[in-house]
Chains A and B, each alone.
Chain A
């Protein structure tokens, strides 16, 4: 399946969960927040949330700002 991740197209095996994706991105345990199709995916739901073709994902973190 193909998803949009932070505005870029991304190919993933079927059945990938948000938690799987974060492992793949080496972001496990990092302070990030995930939004899927404009809805927040709470950290407690990462493992239970299975992605589907066409999903729009945003993965964000904190950086310097004023």
Chain B
């Protein structure tokens, strides 16, 4: 961070990160665009999905992990597309094998395709199993402060409430719930989902979030690479403003120029 005051870095599962922006790798035009946008965003943690390998189709085609190499980025495999705890746990175990024992996962158990809202009951079940199995679980959840608290108590290393529905770009729909979650947070809180543009990311950071995770806001911008860079600045600006502490809101004006010494 370019500032005369040093910020404490984001710490997840014992590793520290300079960037407080986490990005997804879905919805890009191609792998080259993915690579360039992620580079521009400065993100150090990058989410991926785990899917069946296409049998017998294009065996030579480039792999996502060739452009997002695990020795350079922290790969955060997700359980997107899972609708119950059993599927999500299976997916995490496959991901751990895929990434040579790497235990950091993004748990998301969805409830329906129209909203992609989390099924918090299945999420709690899966989180319990995964924590016992030694995973470092970053968990996507609703902005319900009680569920967020329970997920942290189970042992999730980060709680990631939605700011708006996945892929909606509606921004921070309920800042008040996020504030409650943040007020009592015992683990890092990341906004995951809903961010549409740079100002949304800044608002999330101004609220005191530890980081923001986004995908569509960058991938579906007209210029994803430029938006990746915009998000980098948005996160920094929001974090600095949070640390600086905003002025109180007032109903009436307060002159910035002194009243003394006026010419008449």
Contacts and interface: CB of A to CB of B under 8 A. Distances in A.
Interface of A: 5-8, 10, 25-27, 30-35, 38, 40, 42-43, 58-66
Given A35-B94, A38-B90, 8 more contacts: A7-B52, A32-B53, A58-B52, A61-B53, A61-B63, A61-B98, A64-B26, A66-B214
A51 to B, nearest CB: 15
Q: Which A-B residue pairs are the 9 nearest by beta carbons?
A: A65-B49, A66-B24, A66-B215, A26-B59, A33-B98, A33-B97, A64-B25, A62-B48, A64-B26
Contacts of A25: 53, 55-56, 59
B166 interface: yes
B110 to A, nearest CB: 12
Contacts of A63: 25, 48-51, 64
Majority secondary structure of chain B interface residues (helix, strand, loop or mixed): mixed
B213 to A, nearest CB: 8
B186 interface: no
Nearest to A8: B55
B28 interface: yes
Contacts of A27: 53, 59
B25 to A, nearest CB: 4
Nearest to B31: A64
B148 interface: no
Interface string B85-123: 000001001111110100000000000000000000000
Contacts of A62: 48-50, 63-65, 75, 77, 95, 98
Nearest to A38: B90
B202 interface: no
B142 interface: no
B252 to A, nearest CB: 44
Interface in B130-180: 166-167
8 contacts: A25-B55, A30-B63, A31-B98, A33-B94, A33-B95, A60-B50, A63-B49, A65-B26
Nearest to B48: A62
A26 B51 CA distance: 17
A25 B58 CA distance: 11
Nearest to B166: A66
B80 to A, nearest CB: 5
Given A8-B55, A33-B94, A60-B98, A65 B63 contact: no
A66 B63 contact: no
B41 interface: no
Nearest to A25: B55
A6 B77 contact: no
